[in-house]
């Protein structure tokens, strides 16, 4: 019973944390914003004035030889691999659950061995996260925020000559809802500020100078989860957490569950073959019993 409950709980864990939440919480792609930032701004604008500079913030020109579709694919590599592994593990778990309910020792002998391989396959995920996805995600995140900063520059009426087409630049949808609303209003008014509320909101946004136009790398530019736009690494949390998650949920919990499945299989394999306490009687004993019964019948006859 304990093995069945543990397997059912792990199936629920895989469904929730391996499939449902990743699909629900995966942020929308921002690759179009990155592409527009590079295509819609001049190298001189990205270089800045030596203090406020996109290039200084990133460490180099982020648009230099950038293939943003490839960067996006790398950023999603760990998530994609993780979902594939979780779906595979889920299918194995469901099959194992059926075998446990049916008390099928032969099937469990194969199932526990297949499950034992999963922690090793999943271990690829934290390596992929740290080595491939984190750097790509940081580059994509920086380009996205650079686009937002440049879009605020246009809405605030600054450096318009540094954009190939300011209106087209603002046509790209951004994940910053406040900026998106102001962009829509600016585009509708063509920057005239006909709406008093719109003009007030734009003026308020433009006062936050560190988020408007090229950034000063010495400013505090931390966003969600304390991630600095100009940082060159995701920090200790982004590097350590993927391995901690693997240790807890796969090397720990899954390995312990696999051990219990193996133990249950051994228990079934060693169980009596019939309803007698001692199990199936040997063939010699059966033959002796039949012969004795026959002799007894002959005597009575």
**Which one has a higher pLDDT value, 186 or 117?**
117
pLDDT score, position 274: 52
What pLDDT is recorded for position 177?
81
Contact 58, 168 (CB under 8 A): no
Sign of CA pseudo-dihedral 35, 40, 41, 42? positive
Percent above pLDDT 90 for the chain: 56
pLDDT (tens digit per residue) in 226-244:
578 887 777 777 788 899 9
In the predicted model, is pLDDT for residue 280 greater than 70? no
Choice among 16-20, 61-65, 113-117, 286-290 with the minimum mean pLDDT: 286-290
Query: What is the pLDDT confidence band of residue 214, given thresholds at 50, 70 and 90?
Result: very high
122-164 pLDDT per residue, tens: 999 999 999 999 999 999 989 999 999 999 999 998 999 999 9
User: What is residue 65's predicted lDDT score, i.e. its pLDDT?
Assistant: 85
Please check the confidence at residue 249 and state whether its pLDDT lies above 80.
yes
Question: For 48-62, what is each residue's pLDDT tens digit?
Answer: 998 999 999 999 999
pLDDT of residue 186: 65
Buried b (16+ CB within 10 A) or exposed e, 84-93: ebbebbbebb
How sure is the predictor about 224, in pLDDT bands with cuts at 50, 70 and 90? low
4-13, 216-225, 234-243: range with highest mean pLDDT:
4-13
Q: Who wins on pLDDT, 283 or 79?
A: 79
pLDDT for 194 equals: 47
Whole-structure pTM value? 0.79
Under 8 Å CB-to-CB from 205, ≥6 apart: which residues?
A: 152, 155, 156, 178, 179, 182, 211, 212
Q: Give the integer Cα–Cα distance in Å for 196 and 130.
A: 48
Chain centroid to CA 122: 13
pLDDT at 277 over 60: no
Residue among 136, 128, 139 nearest 231 (CA): 139
Mean pLDDT taken over the chain = 84
């Amino acid at each position: 019973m304990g093995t069945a409950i543990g397997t059912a709980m792990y199936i629920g864990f895989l469904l929730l944390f391996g499939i449902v939440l990743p699909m629900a919480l995966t942020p929308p792609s921002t690759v179009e914003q990155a592409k527009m930032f590079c295509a819609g701004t001049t190298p001189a604008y990205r270089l800045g004035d030596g203090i406020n500079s996109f290039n200084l913030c990133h460490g180099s020109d982020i648009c230099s030889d950038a293939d943003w579709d490839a960067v996006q694919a790398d950023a999603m590599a760990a998530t994609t691999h993780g979902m594939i592994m979780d779906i595979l593990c889920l299918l194995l778990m469901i099959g194992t659950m059926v075998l446990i309910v049916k008390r099928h020792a032969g099937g469990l002998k194969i199932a526990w061995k297949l499950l034992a391989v999963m922690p090793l396959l999943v271990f690829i995920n934290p390596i992929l996260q740290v080595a491939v996805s984190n750097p790509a995600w940081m580059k994509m995140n920086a380009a996205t925020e650079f686009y937002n900063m440049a879009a605020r520059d246009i809405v605030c009426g600054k450096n318009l000559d540094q954009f190939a087409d300011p209106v087209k630049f603002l046509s790209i949808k951004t994940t910053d809802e406040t900026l998106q609303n102001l962009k829509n209003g600016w585009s509708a008014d063509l920057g005239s500020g006909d709406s008093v509320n719109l003009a007030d909101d734009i003026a308020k946004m433009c006062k936050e100078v560190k988020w408007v136009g090229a950034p000063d790398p010495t400013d505090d530019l931390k966003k969600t989860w304390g991630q600095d736009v100009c940082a060159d690494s995701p920090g200790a949390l982004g590097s350590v957490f993927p391995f901690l998650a693997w240790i807890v949920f796969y090397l720990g919990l899954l390995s312990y569950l696999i051990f219990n499945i193996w133990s249950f299989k051994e228990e079934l394999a060693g169980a009596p073959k019939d309803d007698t306490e001692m199990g199936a009687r040997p063939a010699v004993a059966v033959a002796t019993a039949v012969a004795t019964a026959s002799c007894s019948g002959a005597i009575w006859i």
